[in-house]
Amino acid sequence: MNIKSISFFIGAFCIASFSFDQAGAQTIRFAQVPQPTAARQSKITVQSEPLQQSADTLRLELKEVVAMAKDQSIASKQAATLKETRYWEWMTYKSNYQPQLSLKGILPGYSKSSISVQQPDGTIDFRSVHNNNSSLDLSFSQRISQTGGTVYGSTSLQRFDDFDRNNTLYNGAPYSVGLIQPLFQFNSLKWDRRIEPLKYNESQQAYIETMEQISINASAYFFDLLLAQVDLQIAETNLNNTTAIQKIADTKFEMGKVSKNEILQLQLEALKAEKAVGIAKRDMEVATYNLKAYTGLQNTDKIKLSLPKSTVEMKVVTEKALTEAFQNRSDAIAFGRKLEEAKRDVAKAKGDNGINATLNANLGFAKSGRSIGSVYQNPKDQQLLELAIEIPILDWGRQKSRRKTALANQQFTQYAVAQDKQNFTQKIITEVNLFEMMKGQLLLNARAEQIASEKYQIAKERYVLGNLSITDLSIAFQENDQAKRDYINSLRDFWGAYYQLRYLSLFDFEKNEKIKL
């Protein structure tokens, strides 16, 4: 066999090449190249390829997958439901400071029975009772957050019907006002005003964080499937290349140019390549299912992913990231909330000191009569003033222990929050540095992938021409595959760091604005 016939076999090789979309819609493809010399001169090319959806294949970019996950995934719906729950809890809290109007009554209060009645001489006589005792009470109340007390006003009317004696009586309080004021006790309303707004703001920011966490998870599923698709394309191309090389080697073996050992080695490589295709198909099916399940995709037979961009036009400054994180993150809000809760617990321990005193004052008018109108004619005034007191005499140091425990817990919370702030700050700094590092690693891996691809093409040609061993060809073969996977993994790391930075700061450095939903 002469050089021309060998060149004919070389021209039949299936040579792998990557093409990348400049607009970010890159797809990995393998093309037939007519001459090996073209592979020696090949570079990473840029070609525009718009996304399109065929009957059974959906082409997606990374940001489209992230958007779908945020919009229709189960995780996003759970986050929205939790946000709504926190909203109604907030409205419940606000209602505690609003006036309350209520109507209470007993309609009817009918009774027919026999009761025991003590006689003047001490004996018991049983009397028949047949009556109706109905009542209505309309009351208005307002809690005072500064003191913890309650002011109220009410109007009431009562009707009593004695059916045995055919007698009807009315009794009512046309209006009355009063005050119930706890003394020397813990005021929960005052502390709720300081803590509940922090909890609500924390829940709002936690919702945004959850959506950014969904972006991180969706990105991970995206690259799982992208890597699986790349592995399948590599495996199929390697199988084709190995088959082509094996045919040439068989011809050279018949000519006595190669040994039986090389033939067996190529047969083993072919079996490995075929096995790799099967494994890659399995992995792609699993990755496709995981992506569909997380993003909520339905009725889509196939998904084809595009390589995301390898650069993002944004500048990340550590000081800016820290400032935004401490303004936006729910963790930063939680730092203040935990300190306020610790102060509240100390105040509660001091307020619940066993001394319970309550002042109850009421001023109003009341009257009874045989008709409703008579109740409201010249009613008589009524007053109530009482002070209830309970003072512990001996508690064996129980109240002191509670105060000391609350103070110790407050001190522990202060230390814990200080440590959390340090960890939070360090995490932001580390993530900013990691993002910058990933950008550099991505460029290196892109260059390494290009070099490995060119090296592999040259190694194949040299083997066909007979001046390269099968071992060296196998090494170039493996290096080429690994370089392609390393590049995809570096893309994963870069975009993972990008979404992680958004999650930690809740700031969009591309648009230079806070993330709001």
418 or 517: which carries more pLDDT confidence?
A: 418
Token output for 102: 């209520």
8 or 296: which carries more pLDDT confidence?
A: 296
Residue owning tokens 């001489």: 121
* Tens-place pLDDT, residues 421-467: 999 999 999 999 999 898 888 889 989 988 988 888 888 788 777 77
Lowest mean pLDDT among 35-39, 163-167, 422-426: 35-39
Determine the Cα angle at 371 with ends 367 and 375, to 5°: 20
pLDDT level of residue 43 (50, 70, 90 thresholds) = very low
Give the span between the Cα atoms of 439 and 507, in whole angstroms: 19
pLDDT for 50 equals 37
E strands, 98-147, in order? 100-106, 110-118, 124-143
Query: Which amino acid type is present at position 251?
Result: T
pLDDT for 335 equals 95
* Tens-place pLDDT, residues 115-162: 888 888 889 988 888 999 999 999 999 999 889 999 999 999 999 999
Give the span between the Cα atoms of 246 and 234, in whole angstroms: 18
Kindly tell me if the per-residue pLDDT of 247 is higher than 70: yes
Beta bridge partners of 305: 60
Kindly tell me if the per-residue pLDDT of 169 is higher than 70: yes
pLDDT for 497 equals 93
Domain range annotation of the chain: 3-87+195-335+415-514, 100-144+149-186+356-390
Give the span between the Cα atoms of 32 and 359, in whole angstroms: 94
DSSP state of 354: S
pLDDT for 27 equals 34
Lowest mean pLDDT among 49-58, 78-87, 255-264, 287-296: 49-58
Kindly tell me if the per-residue pLDDT of 468 is higher than 80: no
- What average pLDDT does the chain have? 84
Q: Is CATH 3.10.129.10 the right assignment for the domain spanning 3-87+195-335+415-514? A: no
